Structure 1
Amino acid sequence: MFVEVLVVGIGFLTGLGILAAAIAGPDNSRQLAPAAATPLAAGSALAFAYALGILIDRAADTALTPVRRRLRNQSFPTSAAYAQARLKLAVTPALSARADYARSRLRVCRGWVLNSILLTVATDLALWRYPVEHRPLLLASATVLGALAVVGFYLSWHAITATGYRKLAIQTAPATTQVVPAQPSAPTPHTP
């Protein structure tokens, strides 16, 4: 879980950095840039990115909880049935490893839904604040690409979540024994 939390946190920290630069403006940003380029700042940023990753992961999970519950209810009638399936999955290492990989991808997509929103807003604000050529084109491009990223990460999260619940339900369903109906006896030949 360390890597995905860090990936989410670095993305959010980048968005905060762009937002801070937009608020500070070009002159202040130029003066602050040397302080940001030190090893101490880099180490602090990495630690802060990890902590932010945890926070953003939880925030994204909370924001998407109603959708996640709806998806879970399609495969599991109750929370108890879901909990029991998770326990069954835990005893099968191969299936458990696949589920962990899917959850890792899910966390990244879930966190990047929020990251994409922040990065889009921050980039748009920075483009308004800084003197740039072709501002309308850049703003439109940043906004469209940001919206596509939000939708793409959301749809990826949705697909991974729905597929994960569906697979879990199938993999942990009780084994059913199929009863083969009795075959009629062959007629006995009639002898005179």
Structure 2
Amino acid sequence: MTSSTQPEAPAFAAATAMFIEVLVVGIGALAATTLLLIALIGPATTAKLAPVASSSAATGVGLATAYALGILIDRLADAMLTPHRRRLRTRFFPSNTAYAQARLRLAEFPVLTARADYARSRMRICRGWTLNTLALTLTANLAMLRYSFEHRTLILCATTAFGIATALGFYQAWRALTVTGYRKLAEQTTIPAASQPVPVQPQPEPRPT
């Protein structure tokens, strides 16, 4: 009984981590969507809808929407950064075949595979939040333009500067994690020359005495 349940644990943990990862990205996308809605409907309608947004039903719908948006943003961010990611990969792997073979060799070591999966999870979160931060900056500015308050121009400029700086920070983190992941994969799956079998050299026949 125990042996039949052991293989399911890593798969369950991986599925849970992926769900959380997508949800983390989706919450940012949902916040940006909410700010865009506020900018479209204006302050008066927003105040009327505020009690509805705090209900249990709205919370459930919000979580489901965040998960769906997380999938969408993850795919969109991946499509945008794929050309750059492939250029980074060519530093360590000359072809797709070499990269695929390295991934197969890494799968033989569960501890290293778990570490690589964790690093890729952080990379995907940074990738998604690079796009999320830009969307949040834009929609926050649009929402603030619908309200009148003191120092609005200053706050708009500060929000824009902070948003751009944060987006660049997430991008740099994604790039660093991507490069580190490829470098470690190359190092961990490269067979050292000393461990390769040395061909047997033919020995000269002894001369007759």
Unaligned runs of 5+ in 2: 1-17, 197-209
Question: Where does residue 113 of structure 1 map in the other structure?
Answer: 130
Aligned to 2:89: 72
TM-score by length of 2: 0.83
123-132 or 77-86, which deviates more: 123-132
The offset of 1:51, in angstroms, is 1.1
Aligned to 1:31: 48
Count how many residue pairs are aligned between Structure 1 and Structure 2. Answer: 179
Give the match for residue 151 of structure 1.
168
Following superposition, the deviation at residue 178 of structure 1 comes to: 7.7
Q: Root-mean-square deviation (CA), in Å? A: 1.2
The 5 A counterparts of 1:46-125 are 46-125=63-142
Cα deviation per residue 1:105-149 (whole Å; 9 max; x = unaligned)?
001000001100110001111111111211011001100010011
User: Offset at 1:84?
Assistant: 0.3
Q: Which moved more, 1:101-110 or 1:28-37?
A: 28-37
TM-score by length of 1: 0.91
Verify the 8 A CA contact 1:68 1:161 in the aligned structure 2.
yes
Q: Which runs of 5+ in 1 are unaligned?
A: 180-192
Identity of aligned residues (%): 56
Q: Deviations over 1:39-58 (max 9, x none)?
A: 00100110110111111111
Quote the Cα distance in structure 1 between the aligned partners of 2:194 and 2:53.
65
**Post-superposition offset of 1:175:** 2.3
Structure 1 residue identity aligned to 2:83:
P
State the Cα deviation string for residues 22-54 of structure 1 (Å, max 9, x = none): 111101111111211110010011011011111
Runs of 4+ in 1 over 2 A off after TM superposition: none
